[in-house]
Amino acid sequence: MEGSFLARDSESVPGAYCLCVRRASFVHTYRIHRSPEGWTIKIPPTRRRRALRRWTSL
């Protein structure tokens, strides 16, 4: 699998980050938040099943 990614500060949520993942001509964005328990990733419901199945491939 080939692609690229970019981690950046979120423009809309202060203190959060965005992970932008490009595969072929598509870019998917995931928001990363820090909570008292650790880091959490917000994945849109339409992408959740596929993203979680392949998360380890990052």
Domain assignments of the chain as residue spans, ordered by start? 4-57
Choosing among 3.40.950.10, 3.30.70.2740, 3.30.465.10, 3.30.505.10, the CATH entry for 4-57 is: 3.30.505.10
DSSP 37: T
Residue 36's pLDDT is what? 86
Task: Compute the half-sphere exposure of residue 12: CA atoms within 13 Å on the CB side of its CA.
Answer: 5
Q: Is the pLDDT of residue 1 over 70?
A: no
Tell me the CA distances in angstroms from 4 to 39, 47, 58, one per residue in order: 22, 18, 10
Enumerate the β-bridge partners of residue 9: 17
pTM (2 decimals)? 0.64
Q: What is the pLDDT of residues 7-52, one digit of tens each?
A: 999 999 999 999 998 888 888 888 898 888 888 888 777 665 555 4
pLDDT at 26: 86
